[in-house]
Structure 1
Amino acid sequence: MSLTQRFAPALASVIVASLMALSATAASAASQDQTQDLTLTGSAATGYTAATSNIHLEAGSFEDTFRFKATSPSLFEFSLVTMGANQDQLVSFSSVWLNGTQLTLTPVPGSAGLTYGNLSTPVYGDLVLTVKGYVGGTLVAGSPTAASYSSTFNLVPASAVPEPQSYALFLGGLGLMAVMLNKRRKQRA
C-alpha cells in the first residue's frame, strides 16, 4: 500500500472538516443580528424594566430583536446608549419597531450616543421590539470593530398616566387658584 493510499482518507477528513468550519465562519460573519428574550422586573403598581447590552464585532447593518411580555396595559419607553473611543466604534440607530409600529427616535441634545423614545398608546401581551442600525461608522461592512450599545426598556402602568381631562381639570384648578390669590392681594392693598 502506497503512502498516498494510506493517508488519503485522513486527508479527505481534514479537508471536509476545514470546509465545514470555513462555511460556518462565513455564515456567522454574514449576519450579526441578535435575538434576546427579556425578563422585566418590577411590579404592576410601579411598572417593569429591563436593561441589556449588545456587542457587535464587525461593521455593517444589524437588526436586534428583543422579546418580552406586558402583563397589564402599559405604556412603553426605551433608551439606547452607545459610546466608543472613535466614530468606528459607535452604533448608529436607524429605526426602532414595537410589534410592527415604528417608534420615533429622539437624540438627547448635547450627548453623542444617547437616544430615547416611547409609545403613547398602551400595549399588552407578547411584545417584539426590533432595533435596526449600522455598526462601524466609516468602516466597510465586514471590517472588524468593537461596537456596543446598552438599552433600557420600561413598561409604565397605563392607569398611572393621567387622562387629558385630568390635565384640563388640573390646569383649570391652577387658574382658579391664581384668580383667588390675585383677589386676596387686591383686597389687602
Structure 2
Amino acid sequence: MSLTSRLAPAIAAVALALAATTAGAASQNQSQNLTLVGSPSTGYTAATSNTHLEAGSFEDSFHFKASSASLFEFSLVTMGASADQQITFSSVWLNGTQLSLTAVPGSTGVTYGNLSTPLSGDLVLTVKGYAGGTLGAGSPVAATYSSTFNLAPAVPEPQSYALFIAGLGLMALMLNRRRKQNT
C-alpha cells in the first residue's frame, strides 16, 4: 500500500473538518428581509429575533424599504437565560453609516438608537456583536436577541402645520396693520 493511499483517508477527514468549520462560521452571520407594517401617517414597524448557536463574533443584516422620507429608530434586547447566553452589541450600521448605541439605564442587554436624518428607499441595517458572553469562540450556546425597527413619518404632525399657519396669519395681520398705519 502506497503512502498516498494510506494518507487519503486522513486528507479527506481534514478536508471535511475544514468544510464543517467554514460552514459553521458562515452560519454565525444571518441575513433577513423584513416586511414593515403600518401606514404613511403613523409610521412602519417590524420586529424579529435572532439566535446564535455558537459563541463568537457575528454580523447580522436586516433588509427593508422606506417608501417615503422617514426617521429611523431601533431597539435591541438580549434574551439569554444566563450570562453565557448573552449578546454583546459592538456596533450598528445603517447603509454604511454607524449609529450610536445607547444602553437603557438599569437594564441588562437593552440597547437602542436612532438616526435623525430622514431617509427612504432600500435600507440595510447591520448589527455586529459577540454571542456567548465570556465563552470562547466556537462553544455551543443559545444566545438570542430581539430587535424592533421603526420608521416614523418625517413630515410634521398636523398640530405643527396648524401652528405654522397660525403664525403666518399673525404675521400677515401685523403687516396689514403696519401698512394701514403708514398710509
Q: Which TM class, normalised by the smaller chain length?
A: 0.7 to 0.9
Partner in structure 2 of residue 39 of structure 1: 35
Q: Give the Cα–Cα distance (whole angstroms) in 2 for the partners of residues 85 and 78 of structure 1.
A: 23
Taking the aligned partners of 1:161 and 1:83, their CA distance within structure 2 comes to 35
Cα distance in 1 for residues equivalent to 2:109 and 2:99: 17
Alignment of structure 1 residues 1-189 onto 2, 5 Å: 22-31=17-26, 32-160=28-156
Structure 1 residue 99: deviation in Å? 0.6
Give the Cα separation in 1 of the matches to 2:143 and 2:157: 36
How many angstroms apart in 1 are the aligned matches of 2:33 and 2:16? Answer: 28
- For 2:110, the aligned partner's letter is L
- Cα deviation, 1:132-178, whole Å, max 9, x if unaligned, reads 0001111111111110000000000001469xxx6xx79xx9xxxxx
What is the SS of the residue equivalent to 1:159?
coil
- Which residue in 1 is equivalent to 2:3? none
Question: Quick one: distance in 2 between partners of 1:161 and 1:99?
Answer: 27
* More off after superposition, 101-110 vs 23-32: 23-32
Question: Which residue is equivalent to 2:176?
Answer: none
Task: Provide the C-alpha distance between the structure 1 equivalents of 2:54 and 2:123, rounded to a whole number of angstroms.
Answer: 28
Partner of 1:81, secondary structure, is strand
Note the aligned Cα RMSD (angstroms): 2.6
Kindly state the Cα deviation for residue 84 of structure 1 after the two structures are TM-superposed. Answer: 1.7
Structure 2 CA distance for aligned equivalents of residues 24 and 157 of structure 1 = 47
Q: Residues 2-33 of structure 1: CA distance to partner in whole angstroms, max 9, x if unpaired?
A: xxxxxxxxxx9xx96x7775444222222310
Q: How many residues align?
A: 157
Partner of 1:185: none
Answer whether contact 2:79 2:146 (CA < 8 A) is retained.
Answer: no
Provide structure 2 residue ranges, at least 5 long, that are not aligned to the other structure: 1-7, 168-183
Residue 155 of structure 2 aligns to a residue in which SS? helix
C-alpha deviations, 1:42-70, integer Å up to 9, x for none? 11111111101000011110000001000
TM-score of the two chains, using structure 1 as the length reference: 0.74
- Change in CA separation of 1:161 and 1:90 when aligned onto 2, cut-off 3 Å: farther
The alignment-based identity, stated in percent, is 72
Q: Name the aligned partner's letter for residue 43 of structure 1.
A: S
